[in-house]
Amino acid sequence: MAKERTDDNPKTPEQVQDRIWELAEKIGICMFTTWDGKQQHSRPLSARVRRDEHAIYFLVDVEGGKNAEVDHFPTVSCAWADNSSYKYVLVAGEAKLSNDRAKIAELWTDFDKAWWEDKTDPTIRLLTLTPANGELWDSPGKAVALAKMVAAVVSGAAPKMGDNAKVDL
């Protein structure tokens, strides 16, 4: 018999939206998941989160297999995980590949030199995710989460691990 879920979400939808954007930006690297018509493919990508533009940007290579998948099946999802604090975010929406050189130059950081020589490299492409919805799992932190799990084992009740909420973005 499954334990009764005791989680609740005291946050307003606006607070959940704020927290999703905040954690996605803070964590940075996400697992970017596409669909090829038969199965999903996930890979880590460095996200440039721009809430004021209602967009999440990625610099990708022109040769990436994800590019064809996005062209054929533009609905994608991105998952961010802060395992040390038990905080997780999922964002889904529509992605589009472009060769917007001005935006690529604007988003360029020294970190990108690991893959390309500089921002003028002609093989860089811009992948833009326009978020439609998101989900948040927001624990009060590792120490509190572990204490709640121990208490749950002793009491036999499911632990209240933190906030979980879905919202439109």
Residue-wise DSSP of the chain: -PPPP-----S-HHHHHHHHHHHHHHH-EEEEEEE-SS-EEEEEEE-EEEGGGTEEEEEEETT-HHHHHHHH--EEEEEEEETTTTEEEEEEEEEEEE--HHHHHHH--GGGGGT-SSTT-TTEEEEEEEEEEEEEEE-S-HHHHHHHHHHHHHH-SPP---EEEEEE-
User: Could you report the per-residue pLDDT of 99-122, keeping only the tens digit for each?
Assistant: 999 999 999 999 999 999 999 999
pLDDT tens for 63-111 read 989 999 999 999 999 999 999 888 999 999 999 999 999 999 999 999 9
Confidence of residue 167 (pLDDT cuts 50, 70, 90): confident
Q: Where are the domains of the chain?
A: 13-168
Model pTM above 0.85: no
Fold held by 13-168: Pnp Oxidase; Chain A (2.30.110)
